[in-house]
Amino acid sequence: MIPLVCPAPIATRDTILLGHGSGGKLSAELLRDVFLPAFTNPVLAKLEDQASFEIGGARLAFTTDSFVVKPLFFRGGDIGSLAVHGTINDLAVGGAIPEFLSAAFILEEGFPMADLRRIADSMAAAAAKAGVTIVTGDTKVVERGSGDGVYINTAGIGLLREGVRLSAGIAQPGDAVILSGSIGDHGIAILSEREGLELESDIASDSAALNTLVDAMFATAGTNAIRAMRDPTRGGVASTLNEIAEQSAVGIEIDEGAIVIHSAVRGACELLGLDPLYVANEGKLVAIVARESADAIVDAMRRHPLGADAAVVGRVTGDHAGMVTMRTLFGTSRIVDMLAGDQLPRIC
Amino acid sequence: MKYIDEYRDAAVAKGIAQAVRARVTRPWVLMEICGGQTHTIMRYGLDEMLPPEIELVHGPGCPVCVAPLEIIDKALDIAARPGVIFVSYGDMLRVPGSHSDLFRVKAAGGDVRVAYSPMDAVKLARENPSRQVVFFGIGFETTAPANAMSVWQAKREGLKNFSLLAAHVLVPPAMRALLASPANRVQGLIAPGHVCTVMGTREYEDLSRDFHLPIVIGGFEPVDLLEAVRMLVAQLEEGRAEVENQYVRSVSREGNLGAKRILVQVYEVSDRKWRGIGPIPMSGYKLRPEFAEYDAELIYGTGEITAHEPEECISALVLQGLKKPLDCAAFGTLCTPERPLGAPMVSSEGVCAAYYAYRRHNEATKEAVR
């Protein structure tokens, strides 16, 4: 009765899509096809969240990040504090002690001076609290309509801890996976304030500088027990774990019951058809650590205010290299895949 | 979370699976219709919890998947026009038409926006009187009333810059076509709880009687679905064929009378083409003539657009429950969510997408679900 039908695939990507900035597969394609071939070098090739290298006998970590968040001000933070925290965190999860930041602003003609002052003050406060200094910067102004109020780029430099060599490429079967706390708070806080959604909630962004939490982890663990750390920002915990699984050519299995999700975040995700595993965090870290050190590290994290809900949420396995799976509450197993682009709200 | 946690309770779920195991004496083929139900089954591995006698096959109930290629091409055509604000549910944006998708139209300068409700599109029309706002209203009976309400509201307000590109499909005619097929294997149906919340259960009573088929209206959480399976197995083992309602917290026999009233006021039943299946008579809604001035197809003259759907994948067989995604040679290789070949891989709610997202990791699972 019924003919076999299907559409032709659309394989070409000749323009940039929003999904290229999502941290998912499209972002990885962009790196692979455009940037890595253009800039190829051994430091970059490690594909960590920060570059690490030696200058004059000092081992340094260096990173940069741009911030285009909308709205500029949200519950739990603003684009300024986020720009400071984000770059500090990229250094901290590389095992570095963040020292200096740059701040570059692309401002749109007509942007209110009062908002810019508020953002600058917020950046100063965030930097002071984290013990880093903003030492250089730049300002450009574009015509009205060419920007979206303000975009901020920060870069940061830090000193790598003696003997510490973290890498997403050295996770080993048997290692434990630690998550520092609840997931999805930042992404849902932003989404719930974004124009048009009109979702009422009391969810605040978790935006925070993680360097002192990382200090506490190293104070307990010494140099070799921690293999890799990442802050699961865009793309969420799922994308971060997929990156580690792929770079280390190992499997990662997480336990559904071990992952903390605030009920307001769960509720918003239920409503919107989103999976909190893919929702952005700005004050959380994922650590791959030697099994025998995991409990001590978790204890140390729990004594820190930003790690109160830290827990071992999974393990590195020799099965399914490059894949992340989840042991569900029902005892069954499913894949936690890397998304192609952004999560899309479902129709029903 | 109330109404969620108790339906995801692992101990309760295991107890129900055990009850099914105790009751079943021979093989039964059951179909869940709705894509949301398919996803719950895959996500929680419910099929792995059930005894091997129970085979779950997956129905055509993913509205994004079954939206025909033509309507996607029409949407792309309208969305690319200057002056138009094209508003869609989020998961339509990545659905490929013949040559493009809404993401690409947006990247090329089209004003494409995502909304959670068609009333947001009406609001946009109100706030942007110099622009034409078009809402892409697809879906089953579940989303039809809200989309109908947007047109009704626009007419009431006298808005001249709002229109609906409608492609609604109806579950019972599709099930009837599927059950009447000589190839049909389905012995029991889990009917879609959200559709029945709107429409009630009477149409399913007709289906059950005409095909002597046990039907259970099921919810969307794991405990809901396992309980629906348990109820179907009890009917089958006892030789009964009736409509039972597992999703009593949401579904009544009469459905949502207010929603049904607005459906009748705004739409009339029409023939519809289903992507991956083909044309099914009287299986959809279109706007009534008195709402013609809100019909985007008429306003933008897209009636001429037709699309050729090349015959490459086995989606028709998958959408009828005759094949599983893992039976397809293209699955996960030529056909992935980034580059879908066919309807069920298109939307995150499609059955191939569900298998791809949750199940391509282990050969044992592949064997088990075959």
The Cα A101–Cα A154 span in angstroms is 7
Residue in B64, B93, B100 closest to A10 by CB: B100
For domain A176-335, the CATH superfamily is PurM-like C-terminal domain (3.90.650.10)
- Helix pair angle (B222-238, B10-23), 10° resolution: 10
In this structure, what DSSP letter does residue A266 have? H
Q: In the predicted model, is pLDDT for residue B90 greater than 90? A: no
| Amino acid symbol at B132 | Q
Alpha carbon distance A118, A193 (integer Å): 19
pLDDT score, position A345: 62
Alpha carbon distance B321, B189 (integer Å): 12
pLDDT band, very low/low/confident/very high, at B338 (cuts 50, 70, 90): confident
Domains located in chain B, CATH noted: 1-303 (3.40.50.11740), 315-369 (no CATH)
CA separation (Å) from A52 to A96, A127, A197? 9, 22, 41
Q: What is the mean pLDDT of residues B341-368?
A: 73
pLDDT of residue B277 exceeding 90: no
Cα angle for residues B255, B55, B333 (degrees, 5° grid): 100
Please give the pLDDT value at position B227: 98
Residue B112's pLDDT band, with cuts at 50, 70 and 90, is: very high
Helix axes B351-359, B35-44, angle to 10 degrees: 10
What pLDDT is attached to residue A11?
45
Tell me the CATH number for domain A49-160: 3.30.1330.10
Q: Which residues of A touch B108 (CB under 8 A)?
A: 15
Distance CA B242, CA B209 (A): 7
What is the model's pLDDT at position A316?
A: 98
pLDDT in tens, B42-79: 989 999 999 999 999 998 888 888 888 889 999 999 99
Comparing CA positions, the residue from B135, B340, B237, B291 lying closest to residue A347 is B135
Whether A200 contacts chain B with CB within 8 A: no
Beta bridge partners of A98: A158
Distant-in-sequence, close-in-space partners of A300: CB < 8 Å, separation ≥ 6: A216, A217, A219, A220, A221, A307
Q: Between vectors from CA B87 to CA B340 and to CA B166, what angle results, nearest 5°?
A: 75
Helix axes A79-92, A211-221, angle to 10 degrees: 20
Domain with CATH 3.90.650.10 in chain A: 176-335
**Residue A285 in 3-state DSSP?**
coil
> With contacts defined as CB-CB under 8 Å, which chain A residues touch B320?
2
Count of CB contacts below 8 A, A vs B?
Answer: 176
- Return the bridge partners of B281, or none: none
* Cβ contact, residue pair B43, A266, below 8 Å: no
B 265-324: CB under 8 A from A: 275-278, 307, 309-317, 320
| Chain A, window 113-142: residues with a beta carbon less than 8 angstroms from a chain B beta carbon | none
B356 has a chain A CB within 8 A of its CB? yes
Residues of A in contact with B42 (CB under 8 A): 334
> A343 or B363: whose pLDDT is higher?
A343
From the list A323, A340, A348, the residue facing B338 with the nearest CB is A340
ipTM reported for the complex, 2 dp? 0.77
CATH 3.30.1330.10 placement within chain A: 49-160
**Cα torsion through A134, A137, A143, A148, rounded to 10:** -30
B64 touches chain A (CB under 8 A): yes
Q: Which of B253, B370, B272 is nearest to B323 (CA)?
A: B370
pLDDT averaged over 10-residue windows placed end to end, chain A, 348 residues: 36 75 83 93 92 95 95 94 98 97 97 98 98 98 94 98 93 98 94 66 90 97 91 94 96 97 89 89 98 97 98 96 93 87 63
Q: What is the pLDDT of residue B74?
A: 96
Q: How many CB atoms lie within 10 A of CB B257?
A: 10
Sheet architecture: strand order including B243-245: B54-61, B28-34, B188-192, B215-218, B243-245
Give the per-residue pLDDT at B197. Answer: 97
